[in-house]
Structure 1
Amino acid sequence: MKKISLLVLFISLLGCKQEYSYKNKIKEDVAFLADDKLEGRETGTKGEQAAAAYIVERFKELGLQPKGTEGFYQTFTFKPKKGPHGEVDYTNAGEDSTITGTNVLAYIDNQAENTIIIGAHYDHLGYGSEGSLHRGDKDIHNGADDNASGVAVMLDLAGKLKTANSSNNYLFMAFSGEEMGLLGSNYFTKNATLDLSKANYMINMDMVGRLKQDSTLAVYGVGTSPRWKQTLSATNPGFKIVENESGVGPSDHTSFYLQDIPVLHFFTGQHDDYHKPGDDTEKLNYEGMDAISNYIFDVITELDKSGKLAFRKTKNESEETPRFKVGLGVVPDYLFDGEVMRVDGISEDKPEQKAGLQKGDIVIKLGDSAIVDMMSYMRALSVFQAGDSTQVVVKRDGKTVEASIQF
C-alpha cells in the first residue's frame, strides 16, 4: 500500500511539472529574430525560413495547435511586380522569377463560436531591398523594431492567453511579405484556414519596440467597431494614446479590415533607424513592449464575454493625420505597394491640388526626405507647419515632375 501511495504521489508531481507555465520571453525572441545570422529575414530567403522555423518551435513550446495548410505553415508563391503600377501575381512554385513566402499560423481552440486573430509580420528587408532608406554600403537590415518587436509581443500574448479568456478561440499569425506590400496577410484573407465570417476582430502589432519616455502609443482602427474607444480608455494603464479611426493603413490589419473585420493596429512611432541597418536590438524599450502586451491582454479580457464585435466602416480614412500640424489633402493608395506612396486622389482646394499634382502620381521626395512608403511620407510631413513652403517630387508616366507646395 505504501508503494502504491508513493507511485500515485510521483505521478501527481509529474503531472504538475508538465502543466503550462507562462514565461516572458520578449527579449529572447527579439534577440533571435533580429540576429545577423538571419540576414534581415527578407521574404523567400533562408533567413526568413529560419525565422519561421523558430516561430513554429515557440508555438509548439506554448502548446498551440497548427493552423496552416501544411502544419503551422501556409506558403504562397508570387511574381514580383514588374513596375510601380503593376499588381502582384500569386502563382505556382517553380515558375521563373517566383518568390515563396511563408505565413506561420497557430491556434488555441476553446470550442468557442468566434475567433480573435492576433498577428504581426516577421519579414524585413534583408541586406536592403527597394524599401531601404540606407544610402551607404550594403548592410544587414535586422529590423529589431520592424518587426521582431511585434512578433515577440504576439508570442507573449499567446503565452498569456493559453489559459485565460476562453470565450473566443485565438488564431496567432506571423505574416510574410509585408514589406513587399502586405502579401502574406492579403493571401491569407483570400485563402483562410478558418471561416472568416467567424472572426471576431483582428489585432496587429507592427513596430511596437520603441515606446518613448512620454509613453505615446498610436492605435489605429479605433473607428472600425463602436466598442473600441470605450474599451481602450477603460483599460489604459497610462499610455498617451494617439487614435486613428481608419481601418486602412500600411500594415497587415488592412487586409482584414477589407474583409469587414474590426481591427486595431498598435505602433510606437517613427525613428531615424526606420528601414536602416541601425534598427537593432539594443535600441528597443523592452519594458515598454511588456507594458503594451499587458495592455492588449487587458483589452481582450475586457471584451472576453462581449460576444462578436460589430464592424463599422471608417470615413476619411486617408486624411486622418492627428499627429501632424499640416496635411496635404492627398488620398494615398495604401495597397498599391508597401514600398512607395502613390496618390489615389486629391481633395479639392488643398496644397497638392493647387500644385497641379494628379491621381496616379508617385511621391518620391518631400522637402529633403526621400519617400519610399507611407511611414517615410508621414515622417517627412510631420516636420512642416502651416505657412511653410517646400518642394515635392513625383514620378508621372515614367517622368520626374517637381512642384512647389505651400502648407
Structure 2
Amino acid sequence: MKKHLSPLLLTFVFCFCEQPQQYNPIDSISTDISILASDSLAGREVGTPGEKMAADYIVAELEAAGARPKGTDGYYQSFFVKDADNPHAQPSEETGEDGITGYNVVGMIDNPGEELVVIGAHYDHLGMGGFSSLHRGEQAVHNGADDNASGIAAMLHLARVLSEKELNRDVLFIGFSGEEKGLWGSNYFTKNPTIDLSKVNFMINMDMVGRLDESKGLAINGTGTSPIWNWLLDEVNSDSLKLIKSESGVGPSDHTSFYLQDIPVLHFFTGQHEDYHKPGDDPEKINEEGILTVASMIEQMIVLMDDDEQIAFTKTKDESDNPRFTVTLGVVPDYMFDGEGMRIDGVSEDKPAIRAGIEKGDVVVQLGDSTVTDMMSYMRALSVFKKGDKTTVVIDRGGEKLSFEIEF
C-alpha cells in the first residue's frame, strides 16, 4: 500500500503541515480545496492514482492535526469491489486485478471517554466524467470542488480545532471513497468497523457544503433519527441560517450506511447547483466562509453535547415504501426549496422537460392528474408513467400557471 505522499503533494504538505504558523481557517480551507480539486488529481475517481494522492493528503493533514491512525493499515482501510460496473456491487476484503481497490482514510482524536462521535465526508469524485456525469461536451476533468472537496475541507478544519478542545468523547474522522459509485467506502466501514460501533453516539456527514449563498439556506437531513436534533440545531444556529430539515436517515450519501446500523445521523448540504457533476465544479466558485459557518455549527454541537448521555436513536419512515419510477422528466430538483411544489434547479439536455419548454426556476405544481406539493408527491406522480406515455405538466413561472404537454 502506498505509504508516502506523491511528489506532487510533498511541497504542499511541507508548507502547510510542517511549518509552525498561526492557524487561519479560511486560508486552510481554501488550500485544502485547491489541492484536492486540482487538475493534477484528475477528478479523484476511486481506484485511480488521483484518489490515492487525495488520500495521502488527507492522511498528512489528519496526522498534523493530532489524529492518530485508526484504519486497518495505519490511517488506511482498503476495500475491493470486483463487479465495479454492477450498481448493486458490494465492497469486500477480496483482492485481485479484475476490480477496483479503494481507500477509506480513518483517524481519531483520542479523548478520555469510551464513546465516539464520527465526522465523515467522501473525497472521491467522477474522474473524467463517466456514467454519473451531467456533462454532455468533450471529456474533461470533474474536479469536484463542492462535491466533495468542500466536505473534506470542513472535516479537516474540525480535526484541527477539536484537537485543541478538552472533550470527553473520542472523535473519529473518516474520509470515504467510492461514494459516487454507491456508498462503497461507508458501506464497507460500517460492516468492517475499526472501532466498536455500539460506542458511536452519532455520525455527522458533510457532502457538498461549499456553496452557501446569500439566502443562507442549509439543508440538514436525518433530523428524525434522534429526538434531540431539532432542539439542538436551533440552539446552535447562531448565524441565523435558514435550516431546511428533512427527517429521513436514508439519502444518497454516506450517513445512510450509519443510519442502517441504528446510529443517529445528520447530513449537512448547502444545495444543488448548475455545476453539479460537471467540469465546472471548481475551487474559485467555493464560499470558504460558508464552509466555516457550517463547520462551526457542527463544532458547537459536539462541544454542547460532550457531557450528555448517549443520545437516543429513532427510525424514520421506511424508505422502502418510496415510489419507484422508470421514466424521468429530465430535471434537477431544488433541494433547498421549501415552498409549495417541486422547484426545478436545472434542466438536462435532450430530455422531456427541455423539449417541452420547461425551464430552470419553474415550479412543478401538477403532473398528470396528481397535484405536486413537494418532492415526495412529485415522485409518486412520476412513478405511474412508463416510456411512451404522454401527459401534462403544470408549472408556476413567476406567479403564472403554464401547462406543457410532454412525452416520456
Once the two structures are superposed, what CA deviation does each residue of 1:286-318 show, in whole Å capped at 9, x if it has no partner? 111111111111111111111211101112x65
Q: How far, CA to CA, are the matches of 2:250 and 2:295 in structure 1?
A: 22
Q: How far, CA to CA, are the matches of 1:51 and 1:244 in structure 2?
A: 31
Q: How far, CA to CA, are the matches of 2:368 and 2:345 in structure 1?
A: 16
The equivalent of 1:205 in structure 2 is 206
The equivalent of 1:404 in structure 2 is 391
Q: In the TM superposition, what are the counterparts of 1:3-402 in structure 2 within 5 Å?
A: 22-24=23-25, 25-84=28-87, 86-88=88-90, 90=92, 92-96=94-98, 98-237=99-238, 238-315=240-317, 318=319, 345-346=322-323, 359=324, 361-363=325-327, 365-366=328-329, 368-369=330-331, 379=345, 383-387=362-366, 400=387, 402=389
TM-score in terms of structure 1 length? 0.78
Residues 49 and 81 of structure 1: CA distance in aligned 2, closer, same or farther (over 3 Å):
closer
Q: How far, CA to CA, are the matches of 1:159 and 1:73 in structure 2?
A: 19
Return 5+ residue gaps in structure 2 as ranges.
1-17, 334-341, 348-360, 370-377, 395-408
State the AA in 2 paired with 1:88.
Q
Q: How far, CA to CA, are the matches of 1:255 and 1:89 in structure 2?
A: 13
Task: Give how far 1:405 is off.
Answer: 5.9
The equivalent of 2:403 in structure 1 is none
State the AA in 1 paired with 2:194.
T
Once the two structures are superposed, what CA deviation does each residue of 1:180-213 show, in whole Å capped at 9, x if it has no partner? 0111000000000000000010000000000010
Query: 8 Å contact 2:81–2:89 — kept in the other structure?
Result: no
Q: How far, CA to CA, are the matches of 1:401 and 1:77 in structure 2?
A: 40
Residues 213 and 59 of structure 1: CA distance in aligned 2, closer, same or farther (over 3 Å):
same
Query: 8 Å contact 2:367–2:382 — kept in the other structure?
Result: no
Task: Give how far 1:266 is off.
Answer: 0.3
State the AA in 2 paired with 1:125.
L
TM-score in terms of structure 2 length? 0.77
Once the two structures are superposed, what CA deviation does each residue of 1:314-362 show, in whole Å capped at 9, x if it has no partner? 12x65xxxxxxxxxxxxxx6xxxxxxxxxx643xxxxxxxxxxxx4x44
Task: Give how far 1:387 is off.
Answer: 3.2
Over the residues paired in the alignment, what is the CA RMSD in angstroms? 3.1
Q: How far, CA to CA, are the matches of 2:83 and 2:126 in structure 1?
A: 14
State the AA in 1 paired with 2:212.
L
Query: 8 Å contact 1:79–1:91 — kept in the other structure?
Result: no
Q: Percent of aligned pairs with the same residue?
A: 50
Q: How far, CA to CA, are the matches of 2:332 and 2:314 in structure 1?
A: 35
Query: 8 Å contact 2:237–2:297 — kept in the other structure?
Result: yes
Once the two structures are superposed, what CA deviation does each residue of 1:128-170 show, in whole Å capped at 9, x if it has no partner? 0210000000000000000000000000001111021511101
Residues 19 and 141 of structure 1: CA distance in aligned 2, closer, same or farther (over 3 Å):
closer
The equivalent of 1:328 in structure 2 is none
- Aligned partner of residue 299 in structure 1, secondary structure: helix
Return 5+ residue gaps in structure 1 as ranges.
1-16, 319-332, 334-343, 347-358
Residues 59 and 82 of structure 1: CA distance in aligned 2, closer, same or farther (over 3 Å):
closer
Query: 8 Å contact 1:23–1:159 — kept in the other structure?
Result: no
Q: How far, CA to CA, are the matches of 2:166 and 2:159 in structure 1?
A: 11
Residues 138 and 217 of structure 1: CA distance in aligned 2, closer, same or farther (over 3 Å):
same
Size of the aligned set, in residue pairs, is 345
